[in-house]
Amino acid sequence: MSARPHAATETATATAADSADACCTGPLPVLGRDVTVPLVTGGEVSYAALDYAASAPALQRVWDDVAAYAPYYGSVHRGAGYLSQLSTDLFEQSRATVAEFLGCREGDQIVFTRSTTDSLNLLAQVVPADCQVFVFETEHHASLLPWRDAQVTYLNAPRTPAQAVDTLERALADRDPHGPALVCVTGASNVTGELWPVRELAAAAHAHGARIVLDAAQLAPHHPVSVEELDVDWVAFSGHKLYAPFGSGVLAGRADWLQAAEPYLAGGGASRTVARRADGGVDVEWHTTAARHEAGSPNVIGVYSIASACKALTEAGFDTLVAREQHLIDTVRAGLAEVPEVRVLSLFGDDAPRVGVISFVVDGWNSSHFAAALSAEYGIGVRDGLFCAHPLVRTLLGSDAQDPGECGAPEPAAPGERSLNAIRVSFGAGTPDEHVERFVGAVKELVRDGAQWKYRTEDGRCVPDRG
């Protein structure tokens, strides 16, 4: 096999330097920014992490804060020792920091969970028994699937923000019976990056007597989120997408449904008192605070890391972060537009506002093969597949529901074979210009010259053939 260096890899640093003047500030420092990876064609290159939509690297600030606290780690709540009291204070201070970051209303509860998926599954367990749930088919599976015990109406993918609002209004007006209802909607698509009209959807929901939960997993790392200004009832997000990958998430919002429901998990921490009855059973009084749904030993490090990330992003200034990210978005979209074989996936059109998440397909390429070549030959990490949003990707690719599709390489996955999946590049506050410049150059070079290496399918993944 040829081992000549790729031109895109050789010239990316110089190209990025030329473009740096276009943006007023650099990326926030993240952990792993100096990691180098081997290229199958020979040599090493700094790793271009362009899969932020799946999991973002830890901010250096977050890592430093966690490392500084770690020696003082102790059990949260009820411990008499100094480290336990310190950890409890840190845990509850973190709750207040998150509430401020989200612009919560007085009386809103901040419940710490494991992730966005966990948060929405929690909410699914506390909705009233006769609640109807309305969710667009465009949602991530974390929003699409938790409502197993509710009557669910799945709404077709809209093609404009106005159509989204109109579709929701008609569905809510036509519901029968006209009882409790909940709308679940994303703030930014994890496939297209497009921003959804959250404030307008919230107004429509409330006008028809429904509540709304915002999946902010892809929105909170890129744009400010205010529960009060958006007028949503709940918001959910994950630490690992907010530069705090330590196993915690958040559900924040109205307390009444949370207080009225049985605890999400039964156990210590959720219970206020437990006493034996004369008949041999037990009586339990559950907490009415957020602790009701936080049974077990809390993940204080994960929670503190989220609070640290909230502070870091706030101090950096979202106006500055959004402006710089828009520069990166413009760079990627302009570069992809110069390649006729590339089709960028979109619901709302080219002019729709979006975050740094872009999915595309390449004519003549299997998406898994293309992503594998980006990694092995250029040191660029992207995502390929259906992105845990199968109905949306199928709609965007124009496939029938019966068409086979997989996350990863289909069997067999010959180079050039059409695949019912796509490639996603995503970035954020920690992304250097050089990474997106290298990506654009690599896409152009792969489409023009093809891959230098041979690839094969192994355990559902397309990998370099080293045999």
- H or E stretch including 429? none
**Residue 343: phi, psi to the nearest 5?**
-120, 115
Q: Across-strand partners of 211?
A: 182
* CA 201 – CA 165 distance, rounded (Å): 6
What is the bridge-based pairing of β-strands 342-344 and 357-362?
Answer: antiparallel
The CA-to-CA distance between both ends of the chain, in Å, stands at 11
Q: Is the dihedral of CA 83, 89, 91, 93 positive or negative?
A: negative
- Measured in whole angstroms, the distance separating CA 163 from the mean position of its chain's CA atoms is 24
Question: And the tokens for 1?
Answer: 């096999």
* CA 33 – CA 36 distance, rounded (Å): 9
321 to 197, 315, 331: CA distances (angstroms): 21, 10, 16
CA atoms within 13 A on the CB side of 43: 13
For residues 333 and 344, the answer to whether their CB atoms sit within 8 Å is: yes
Q: Where are the beta strands (DSSP E) in 141-269?
A: 151-155, 181-186, 211-215, 234-238, 249-253
Nearest 10 degrees: CA dihedral of 278, 282, 287, 291? 160
431 to 33, 47, 51, 371, 450: CA distances (angstroms): 9, 11, 10, 19, 26
The residues that are catalytic are: 388
Give every CB contact of residue 127 below 8 A, 6+ residues apart in sequence.
133, 147, 150, 180, 182, 257
* CA 401 – CA 135 distance, rounded (Å): 18
Question: And the tokens for 261?
Answer: 């429901």
Number of C-beta neighbours around residue 79 at 10 A? 14
